[in-house]
Amino acid sequence: KELNGEVLPPNFLFEVSVVIDVLRATSTIVTALNNGAKEIIPFEEIKEALEFKNKINERNLLLCGERGGIKPEGFELGNSPLEFTSEIVKDKSLILTTTNGTRAFLKAFKISNKVYIASFLNVSSTVEILSKYNNIAIVCAGNNGSVSYEDTQLAGFIIEKLLSKKDYSLSDSAKIAYNLWKSLKKPDFTGEHAKKLIELGFQKDVDYCQNIDKISIVCEGIRQPQNLLKVK
Ligand code: MLT
């Protein structure tokens, strides 16, 4: 495809993707980078994350993530954004593996050259960057292959904000997200994953992740030397 006179590599279907996993991976990533983490290094599997940590064996590397919402054995941090304080993460590289969020991020690199990370926490700053593009994929991490109510809300909010800047034609899934957000007009964290997190004792995470524009950084995926996440 050719867009704005630029020929895109044939395997890239979109100019840019934005990855959403409101509960909780992208809210955690945005919080960690805002609190001074140097970078996030995502892995799909726990085994790969552990191998990387053991191979590098560096003091400034923290092993973080969850399975089923819980910190795996041997990990230093879980996936609660509230754990990622500046005291703990400043200047650290974070190895992160989560059930859906880090996987969605790695997949986004297969459909576009540029990847950003969004949460309600940094929605406006992210939309500011996204609005420079015409052909945008909104990648919702969802829940083990199913739709996530909270991710779809943020997708709708992003679309509403993009449409206030210029015209876009919307896919059917984008229309569903947009119309959901127009009917809600504010975060409604009552979906299945929110309920599960509350049962696990993470009510404070669920409350925190609903904050709109608490943070103004933009988080960008960097393809080299590994697929990293950094503050732009
Ligand atoms: C995920 O990546 O699936 C989530 O962030 C799970 C969680 O809430 O920790």
Query: Contact at 8 Å (CB) between 103 and 96?
Result: no
Separation of CA 3 and ligand 1 centre (Å): 34
Q: Is the CB of 24 under 6 A from ligand 1?
A: yes
Distance, in Å, from the CA atom of 61 to the CA atom of 41, rounded to the nearest integer, reads 10
Structurally, how many domains does the chain consist of?
A: 1
What is the reported pLDDT for 156? 98
Token code pair at residue 208: 């925190």
Please indicate, yes or no, whether the overall pTM of this predicted structure exceeds 0.90: yes
For the chain, counts of helices (H) and of strands (E):
9, 10
Confidence of residue 3 (pLDDT cuts 50, 70, 90): very low
Distance, in Å, from the CA atom of 91 to the CA atom of 131, rounded to the nearest integer, reads 30
Looking at ligand 1, which atom is closest to the CA of residue 98? 2
ipTM over 0.90: yes
CATH of the domain at 97: 3.90.1560.10
Confidence of residue 33 (pLDDT cuts 50, 70, 90): very high
Note the pLDDT tens digit of each residue in 217-231: 999 999 876 777 777
The CA-based angle 9-19-91, given to 5 degrees, is 100
Note the pLDDT tens digit of each residue in 50-88: 999 999 878 899 999 999 999 999 999 999 999 999 999
Looking at ligand 1, which atom is closest to the CA of residue 25? 5
List the domain range (segments joined by +) for residue 144: 2-231
H/E stretch holding 48: helix 46-56
What is the reported pLDDT for 25? 97
